[in-house]
Chains A and B, each alone.
Chain A
Amino acid sequence: GESVGLHLPTLSVQEGDNSIINCAYSNSASDYFIWYKQESGKGPQFIIDIRSNMDKRQGQRVTVLLNKTVKHLSLQIAATQPGDSAVYFCAENEANAGKSTFGDGTTLTVKP
């Protein structure tokens, strides 16, 4: 069946380094992708999104890359800080469906 998944369940980086979190999706009808950050004891929070007619989108310290050919999504965090430690989820929306399907999440740990 269709699924959204993350390549690695955990990622540990040194403070100041760049982080890359990957996500694979299999629904070719998906046309909108979102990254969420979830801190302990809280609900997921929107970080950045991208539509399928784009291959890159930049925010503040974050960049999302979309490769539709291989159905791959990545989140890049520049100069990772301790406050970036959290679980990161990718989610995809199928055109006109309105509902999001989530990946299992990657836990990012930033070492001081």
Chain B
Amino acid sequence: IAGITQAPTSQILAAGRRMTLRCTQDMRHNAMYWYRQDLGLGLRLIHYSNTAGTTGKGEVPDGYSVSRANTDDFPLTLASAVPSQTSVYFCASKGQGIDSPLHFGNGTRLTVT
């Protein structure tokens, strides 16, 4: 089934450890996004990429980095995890055109202890 695949589904991580959340899409979408979802705060944009080779900062980029080596993959890295990064992380992609909705993966639930 075409769509967004995220891995892992969930993870418990010790503070200070490095972690990469994986995201792969098979829809050949140019634009990809990482959001975090926290109770009462909705979805907040961390980083985005409009096309392979380019990335940009969203609303809450601090503590996170991304890369976009190719169209399909958009990994999110936490260099040194902190408890405030405990959240559910969603990767999304968007088809051509401004008027195009987001396609989301099923998320990675991350707990930083």
Interface residues of A (CB under 8 A from B): 32, 34, 36, 41-46, 49, 51, 89, 91, 93, 95-100, 102-105
Contact = CB atoms under 8 A, between A and B. Distances in A.
Contacts of B41: 104
Given A36-B104, A44-B43, A45-B104, 15 more contacts: A34-B101, A36-B101, A41-B107, A43-B4, A43-B106, A46-B101, A89-B42, A93-B99, A95-B98, A99-B33, A99-B58, A100-B45, A102-B35, A102-B42, A103-B42
A104 B92 CA distance: 18
A98 B31 contact: yes
Interface of B: 4, 31, 33, 35, 40-45, 48, 50, 58, 90, 92, 94, 98-99, 101-107
Given A98-B50, A99-B33, A49 B104 contact: no
B43 A42 contact: no
Provide the main secondary structure of the chain B interface.
strand
Q: Give the residue among A36, A89, A100, A103 with the most B Cβ atoms within 10 A.
A: A100
Contacts of A44: 43, 90, 102, 104
A36 B41 CA distance: 16
